[in-house]
């Protein structure tokens, strides 16, 4: 796909998503969804402080309870009332209500949409992201079904001994012929935070060791950052860059680029505070050249 066609495709996709969101956003008020809606009201956060207290003018006000404490309290109340099984069933049914509404809207707007979708996939993007439930890859990037092949795991890692991510990369590059490989991390990553904690985390230890190794490699830079949050955010960024480097070490990536001049590898970070993606401007060609002094697999 040329850059012009890709740009037009992304613009068209974004418009379609905006239209879709207006169509399917309202909850379908069926009999089966009433308890779900009631439960949603129960879970509505009530911890938001007034503008005065949030600005720090009311110094005597007590700390607001966390969202999780309200949610836990709501679950305990439903458990006492023996409503949890009913809530879980309605929560399950709500997904299918929304699915039917989405499918109907898609077919109405674009007759034959699902027939075309079933013909196969030719995505331009491979997205390697974090499993965090707050980061839906296609939505934040304005991509439609069929435009991104997605793999997610804790802290968006690309370790060479993980057959899952290695298989995804191999298939995406050699068989789907993706043009872009995106490693996308996010600020506030629980996996990165856990790796910064000197604590035994059981089965998570070997996985988080990959992030701790990133810290070790960049220890001199990170230890000069006095603010803990800033150091944490910088480790998120450095972890993305190191995972991009792990992608570049793969034979499939090197050989495809030598033959086709694609895929290109990108490092991005998502921010919750504004919903924007930050491009870390990974210099793919320079990174590839340095990698191939030791990891050249093109011969």
- Residues with catalytic roles: 130, 132, 134, 186, 189
| Structural tokens at position 52 | 């005065």
* Residue 226 Cα to chain centre, angstroms: 28
Q: What are phi and psi of 148, to 5 degrees?
A: -140, 130
Angstrom distances, CA of residue 227 to CA of 155, 230, 231: 22, 5, 6
Q: What is the DSSP letter of 55?
A: T
Using only the alpha carbons of the chain, give its radius of gyration.
23
- Do 212 and 184 meet the contact criterion of CB atoms below 8 Å apart? no
Beta pairing partners, 125: 148, 180
CA distance 203 to 217: 23
What is the DSSP code (8-state) at residue 124?
S
What residues are paired with 150 via a beta bridge?
127
Number of alpha helices (DSSP H) and beta strands (DSSP E) in the chain: 14, 5
Output phi, psi for 62, to 5 deg.
-75, 155
Stated as kind and residue range, the H or E segment containing 125 is strand 125-130
Taking residue 65's Cβ as centre, other Cβ atoms within 10 Å add up to 12
Q: And the tokens for 10?
A: 């992304």
235 alpha-carbon distance from chain centroid = 17
């Amino acid at each position: 796909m040329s850059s012009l066609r890709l740009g037009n495709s992304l613009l068209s996709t974004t418009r379609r998503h905006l239209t879709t969101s207006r169509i399917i956003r309202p909850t379908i008020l069926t009999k089966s969804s009433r308890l779900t809606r009631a439960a949603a009201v129960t879970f509505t956060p009530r911890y938001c402080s007034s503008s005065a207290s949030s600005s720090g003018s009311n110094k005597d006000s007590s700390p607001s309870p966390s969202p999780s404490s309200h949610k836990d309290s709501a679950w305990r109340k439903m458990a006492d009332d023996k409503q949890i099984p009913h809530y879980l069933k309605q929560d399950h049914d709500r997904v299918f209500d929304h699915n039917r509404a989405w499918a109907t809207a898609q077919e109405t707007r674009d007759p034959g949409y699902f027939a075309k979708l079933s013909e196969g996939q030719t995505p331009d993007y491979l997205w390697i992201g974090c499993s965090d439930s707050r980061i839906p890859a296609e939505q934040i990037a304005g991509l439609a079904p069929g435009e991104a092949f997605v793999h997610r795991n804790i802290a968006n890692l690309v370790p060479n001994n993980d057959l899952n991510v290695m298989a995804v990369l191999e298939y995406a590059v050699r068989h789907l012929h993706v043009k872009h490989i995106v490693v996308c991390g996010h600020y506030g990553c629980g996996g990165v935070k856990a790796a910064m904690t000197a604590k035994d985390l059981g089965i998570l230890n070997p996985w988080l060791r990959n992030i701790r190794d990133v810290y070790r490699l960049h220890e001199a830079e990170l230890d000069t950052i006095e603010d803990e949050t800033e150091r944490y955010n910088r480790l998120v960024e450095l972890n993305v860059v190191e995972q991009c480097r792990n992608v570049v070490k793969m034979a499939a990536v090197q050989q495809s680029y030598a033959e086709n001049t694609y895929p290109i590898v990108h490092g991005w970070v998502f921010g919750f505070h504004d919903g924007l993606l930050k491009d870390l401007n990974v210099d793919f060609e320079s990174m590839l050249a340095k990698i191939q002094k030791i990891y050249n697999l093109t011969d």
